[in-house]
Amino acid sequence: MKAHRDTALSPVIAASTFAALGSEQRLLVLNTLVRAGADGLTIGELGERTGITGSTLTHHLKILTQADLVTQERKGRSIICAAPRFEVVEALSRYLLSECCADADTCHKDHDHG
């Protein structure tokens, strides 16, 4: 088996990070934050855009934050803003594609082995 893995993520870290996305609601939260850009959203805005509010949203943000997919800014006991960690999301994509076509004679036309 050829080894082409050029990512900083170990299989253990990648698996636990992907596990954090194993919920439709958490995936929706992350996708909403990615769409919002680097400035992120206030918790109120995030709740409005996703339809997830209160303790449920707090629970999902905690899991995404523990997986290092989201950052949170706190003021006192309140979370006032959440933003995606684009470098971690990109690292997950690189992890998935790092061995693309490694055992194939031809590669997918959109993937460059560069």
Backbone angles phi, psi at 74, to 5 degrees: -110, 150
Q: What is the pLDDT along the chain (114 residues), one digit of tens a residue?
A: 334 444 478 889 999 999 999 999 999 999 999 999 998 999 999 999 999 999 999 999 999 999 999 999 887 777 788 899 999 999 998 988 888 888 888 876 665 544
How many Å apart are CA 42 and CA 57, to the nearest integer? 12
* This model's pTM is above 0.85: no
How many Å apart are CA 64 and CA 58, to the nearest integer? 10
Which CATH number applies to 11-97: 3.10.20.30, 1.10.10.10, 2.60.40.10, 3.40.50.300? 1.10.10.10
Q: Where are the domains of the chain?
A: 11-97
